[in-house]
Structure 1
Amino acid sequence: MAEDRAPDPSRDPSRDPAGGVTPPDAQGLVRSPLHERHVALGAKLAEFGGWSMPLEYPSGVVKEHTAVREAVGLFDVSHLGKASVTGPGAADFVDATLSNDLRRIGPGQAQYTLCCDEQTGGIVDDLIAYLHDEEHVLLVPNAANTAEVVRRLAAVAPAGVTVTDEHRDHVVLAVQGPRSDDLLAAVGLPVGHDYMSFAVAPYAAQGLTHDVVVCRTGYTGERGYELVAPVAAALGLWDALVAAGEPLGLLACGLGARDTLRTEMGYPLHGQDISLDVTPNQARLGWAVGWGKDAFWGKEVLTAERAAGPRRRLQGLVATGRGIPRPHMTVSLTPDVLLGEITSGTFSPTLRKGIGLALLPSFVADDAEVGVDVRGRREVFQVVRPPFVAPSVRT
């Protein structure tokens, strides 16, 4: 998630409580339908994927991070893309293009998958596919890549299959943490379904009833849910969650905490850890590829790379001292032997030390010690295989 297409004010359905249209800000960034709520909470806003989104609230990144690990956090991630693939054979079409095997799941389930380049196998985007039925698959790509994913799919869609960009028609809220079930139950939404499954439930907001997709997914490593709702339901749903969450220890959380949480899990971020220059084999995402399928974009080149072994792999790094890695810091085996650079790096609030991800040559062992140039000092890090913190998504 890095940058989105240029905002189009005429298509922005973000609305204030009176029903008016909220225009893009002075920088031309798209505003979330919940923008005014974030401002009222004192959020620090930042550009992300062409949107103006909360980076953190006055509580701060560490407290927001801890709330998700210990209680419950609420994220507005409406910048994420939304695209529908509909029509006879829609599910077959998605299965023949995206990497994962959609036939491993059934209606009412979701799946992590990859859109790869046909020629190079590089990752155009990583996304979640929601299988409603054989004629409807909802895709949730990253903000920056929605238009490109839609373009590639629409260009080869068979007759009768339609690919529709619904990027700004819905909000996406992430309710994450061990008390997420309590929070959703308190506002009348369904809970308790299996990991990577979803339910479509009616929700009344501002005098209307809307269908809300409630999915057991997330980007934090904690038990939690992601809610996809029409823009018209955004304000009522957000307000209800905030009010019901107060006795549960809920904090509104920004993209800063989302980044520290996902890095502790070793979840890759498109535009940093994965990109068109990185293949699923290199990113340790081969588990999200249906190798036995007849077809998917990039199958031939990726199968060959898998057989030969990738030249590099995404590795985890943990500081043995006080160093905190940041993107683009160099990684070396010795001061004179460079290996690569940090792709994601942060201070882990859970471990209380620096952690990072880096694309390193495949000969670097999982337990090796390497150096990271942290502002001119060579800090020692141990190479590990992520996650850095044990996940709780299935509990």
Structure 2
Amino acid sequence: MAETHTSPQEGSLRPSPLYPRHQALGAKFAPFAGWEMPLEYEGVIAEHNAVRHHVGAFDVSHLGKLVITGPRALEFVNSCFTNDLNRAKDGGALYNLCCTVEGGVVDDVICYRFSEQKILAMPNAANNADVARRLRDAAPADIDIADEHTEWAVIAVQGPEAPGIVADLGLPTDHDDFMEFKTASFEGTELLVCRTGYTGEKGFELLVPTSAAGPLWDELMRRDVQPCGLGARDTLRLEMGYPLHGNDLTTDITPVQARMRWAIGWDKPDFWGKDVLTAERENGPRRRSWGLEAVKKGVLRPGMDVYDGEEKVGRTTSGSFSPTLKKGIALALLDSGWKPGADLEVDVRGRRLPVKVVKPPFVDSSTR
């Protein structure tokens, strides 16, 4: 029998299918893109370190799920999003971008290729409806876009011990490549085991029907997997230099400016924003995303001005304390021309904090 889930703020915030379990574990909740999601359990630093050194589990069920089907589904998605799905094989996933015709980023989207007739696109929660609308507005009559946002839960199991934990659940871990996915069964329920994640560590994202999400989560907890909130997910992704939509990617920030040209299939006949992005690539962007590391004690946050002397040369887009490096780090859009090694300053509440320009990631990745 499917479980029912209620939130203390029923009607305003949507609860995860795992909401009662998060409550039982003492999670602190926060609003996130219309959902009430766990921010932390034992603390961001403890959860961050568990993923870097052992294993943690995140409830990321708020991520969107759009199923695109039809005789030319792959061809259609390829004509909309930036990356080339022909780079992936059936059973493979690909990081993608949904852009405006002006080249700004509506959202970053993971696309799972089942076949040329079926693609699963996973936008961020805040943009799921917008991405679905844009696809439907562009879709020919023989293409269907089904919004299955609430029909699936997503549990990310991340960290160096993740393969052993997932295998102990009877699920496959012998994926040939990063970003590959496999269909499997857990207690009689079919689910997807995806070799994906947004932490920089080895791990898997498990896409499971909402009715079976609770038992799967319970089995992870029985194996002493650390439950982790979105706070640790943010510090983990920032250490890797992974962008957060709404901060590092927006409709005012292009993929070329965000150093994401690798996520564009430049040789494709067309995709949304191609002409503008091609021109920007050829002419060079007026600004570009770089990493900043604090030289002295201080925490960097989004929206802080960056200076070279008295000249403002950029603005931070993401920032936090790095539990791994034990220093403040940030991503920032800087005027064109700055390079790694440059010394700048960030205005932190009226105090100038010295920083050094670096090329992300801030820490090494073990995903492969």
**TM-score with structure 2 length normalisation?**
0.98
Q: Map residues 309-348 of structure 1 onto 2, 5 A cutoff.
A: 309-334=284-309, 336-348=310-322
Alignment pair present for 1:199 and 2:171:
no
Separation in 2, partners of 1:20, 1:317 = 45
Q: Find the aligned partners of 1:87 and 1:65 in 2 and give their Cα distance.
A: 41
How many residues are paired up?
367
Question: Could you give the per-residue CA deviations for residues 88-136 of structure 1, whole angstroms, max 9, x where no partner exists?
Answer: 1101111111100111111000000000112x11001001000001111
The secondary structure found in structure 2 opposite 1:196 is coil
Q: Equivalent residue for 2:134?
A: 152
Rounded to whole Å, the distance in 1 between the matches of 2:312 and 2:5 is 52
Alignment of 1:387 with 2:366, yes or no, is no
**Paired position in structure 2 for 1:305:** 280
Q: 1:127 aligns with which of 105, 109, 119?
A: 109
**Match in the other structure for 2:166:** 184
Which residue of structure 2 lines up, in the alignment, with residue 293 of structure 1?
268
Q: Separation in 2 of the partners of 1:19 and 1:188?
A: 23
Cα distance in structure 2, aligned partners of 1:21 and 1:233: 13
Q: Which amino acid in 2 is paired with 1:231?
A: T
- Provide the C-alpha distance between the structure 2 equivalents of 1:127 and 1:297, rounded to a whole number of angstroms: 14
Q: CA deviation at 1:298?
A: 0.7
- Tell me if structure 2 keeps the 8 A contact 1:67–1:73: yes
Whole-angstrom CA distance in 2 between matches of 1:355 and 1:62: 15
Aligned residue identity for 2:140: P
Q: Secondary structure at the match of 1:341?
A: strand
TM-score relative to the length of structure 1: 0.91
Task: Please show how residues 226-265 of structure 1 align to structure 2 within 5 Å.
Answer: 226-244=205-223, 246=224, 250-265=225-240
1:102 is aligned to 85
| C-alpha RMSD of the superposition | 1.2
- Judge conservation of contact 2:104–2:253 (CA < 8 Å) in 1: yes
- The yes-or-no answer on 1:111 pairing with 2:78 is no
Counterpart of 2:73 in structure 1 is: 90
SS of structure 1 residue aligned to 2:110: strand
Distance in 2 between residues matched to 1:275 and 1:92, nearest whole Å: 25
- Describe the superposition over 1:352-390 as per-residue Cα deviations: whole angstroms up to 9, x where unpaired: 111001111111222211101112210100001100001
Which residue, 28, 43, 47 being the options, matches 1:44? 28
In structure 2, the gaps of 5 or more residues are none
Could you say what secondary structure the match of 1:167 adopts?
coil
How far apart, CA to CA, are the structure 1 residues paired with 2:205 and 2:231? 18
Q: What's the CA shift for 1:340?
A: 2.1
3-state SS, counterpart of residue 360 of structure 1: strand
Structure 2 CA distance for aligned equivalents of residues 310 and 373 of structure 1: 24
Identity %: 55
Aligned partner of 1:136 among 105, 118, 125: 118
Three-state SS of the structure 2 residue aligned to 1:294 is coil
CA contact (8 A) 1:331 1:371 kept: yes
Question: Secondary structure, in 3 states, of the residue corresponding to 1:225?
Answer: strand
Deviation at 1:18, TM superposition (A): 7.1
Q: Which residue type is aligned with residue 211 of structure 1?
A: E
Letter paired with 2:48: H
What residue number does 1:7 align with? none
**3-state DSSP class of the match of 2:221?**
helix
Superimposed CA distance per residue, residues 156-205 of structure 1 (whole angstroms, 9 cap, x where no aligned partner) = 1112110111111110110000010111111111102121100011121x
Matched, 1:168 2:150: yes
Q: Is 2:258 the partner of 1:283?
A: yes
Q: How far did 1:339 drift? A: 1.4
Distance across 2 between alignment mates of 1:293 and 1:66: 41
- 8 Å contact from structure 1 (residues 24, 30) kept in 2: no
Q: Deviation digits for residues 314-335 of structure 1, max 9, x if unmatched? A: 110001111210111111111x
Q: How far, CA to CA, are the matches of 2:59 and 2:126 in structure 1? A: 16
The Cα offsets for residues 189-238 of structure 1, whole Å up to 9 and x where unpaired, read as: 1102121100011121xxxx221111111110001111111111111111
Instruction: Select which of 203, 223, 226 maps to 2:202.
Output: 223
Distance 1:23 1:52 in 2: 8
Question: Distance in 2 between the 1:382 and 1:260 partners?
Answer: 19
**Partner secondary structure for residue 200 of structure 1:** strand
Counterpart residue identity of residue 146, structure 1: N
CA contact (8 A) 2:79 2:270 kept: yes
With over 3 angstroms needed to count, the CA separation of the structure-2 counterparts of 1:21 and 1:353, relative to structure 1, is closer
SS in 2 for 1:137: strand
The aligned amino acid for 1:322 is K
User: What is the rounded CA distance, in whole Å, between the counterparts of 1:112 and 1:183 in structure 2?
Assistant: 25
Find out whether 1:34 has 2:18 as its counterpart.
yes
Query: How far apart, in 1, do the equivalents of 2:350 and 2:230 lie?
Result: 28
Contact 1:316-1:358 within 8 A present in 2 as well: yes
Whole-Å separation in 2 of the counterparts to 1:18 and 1:85? 26
- Distance in 2 separating the partners of 1:378 and 1:23: 43
CA distance in 1, matches of 2:327, 2:302: 16
CA change 1:27–1:225 in 2 (3 A) is same
Name the CA shift for 1:24/1:288 in 2 (closer, same or farther; >3 Å).
farther
